[in-house]
Amino acid sequence: MPQPSRAERRRQTRGGATPPPRRDPMRPIYIGVGIAIVALIAAFLIFNYWQKRTVEQAYATPTPGPNASSKPIQLADGGSLGTKYFKQKYPDTAQGGRGQTIDGIDCGSQEYATLHVHSHLAIFYNGKQIAVPMYIGFAPSLSGGCLYWIHTHDSSGIIHLEAPEISPKQGGPYTLGMLFDIWGQPLERQDVAGFVGDVTAYVNGSKYDGDLHQIPLGAHQQIVLVIGNPPVPPPNYAFPPND
């Protein structure tokens, strides 16, 4: 039997070969969508990291100064410190928060977590501690009321800053003056919330000689305002665990 020629063998080989697979026309689209998703996830993670770093740098927990008392006073959520002098439920005055925007701070229907830090305010009048009232920044109404980004939940002096923005609309930090404007009480060198006399201020145990309105509300910032005879040394406070 005659053997097939070389040309015939080549034709047979080509004819019996498996054809190359067809390329999926959608493959470039799938790849592009995958790359876009990865890029969006990376951008989201980078933004969250940047935002967290910005908050940590702007509102870092301070170290109490050398003048603060060595043994801290333990704070507790729901607690109370000092004599209750002010109206304890909805204490904001007619000059304070009634739902309108104050110092660029809105009164909303919820608490926010973009910026969530706690400071502490202690007020002394001639050696006696005056309780900072609960519910500063709560504006009641027939429709259910609203809540300012800066507020108090109890009479412990803990100030809650829970805002949707890292900085107020006009820029700069959130400050003690904003709390007092929402409360509707004076904050001056001769008058703090109606207590009149020479005012000495301490921030984290160190004497503060600047504008009281500009004291920033940082994470675990300790603010002591003394009218009349100051306590020596200024008290030091410990925030609740996991605060």
* pLDDT tens per residue across span 91-135: 999 999 999 999 999 999 888 989 999 999 999 999 999 999 999
Q: Which pTM does this prediction carry?
A: 0.74
Q: Mark whether 54 and 118 lie in a shared domain.
A: no
CB neighbourhood size of 173 (10 A) = 16
What is the C-alpha to C-alpha distance for residues 238 and 154, in angstroms, rounded to an integer?
A: 16
pLDDT in tens, 210-238: 999 999 999 999 999 999 987 777 899 99
- In the chain, how many domains are there? 2
pLDDT in tens, 147-172: 999 999 999 999 999 999 998 888 88
Q: Residue 99 has which token pair?
A: 């739902």
Domain residues for the domain of 203 are 62-238
3-state helix/strand/coil string of 68-134: CCCCCEECCCCCECCECCCCCCCCCCCCCCCCCCECCECEECCCCCCEEEEEEEEEEECCEEECCCC
The verdict on residue 160 lying in a domain is yes
What is the C-alpha to C-alpha distance for residues 88 and 73, in angstroms, rounded to an integer?
A: 22
Q: Mark whether 153 and 176 lie in a shared domain.
A: yes
The verdict on residue 192 lying in a domain is yes
Q: Mark whether 87 and 103 lie in a shared domain.
A: yes
What is the C-alpha to C-alpha distance for residues 136 and 168, in angstroms, rounded to an integer?
A: 18
56: DSSP letter: H
The verdict on residue 151 lying in a domain is yes
**pLDDT grade for 177, boundaries at 50, 70 and 90:** very high
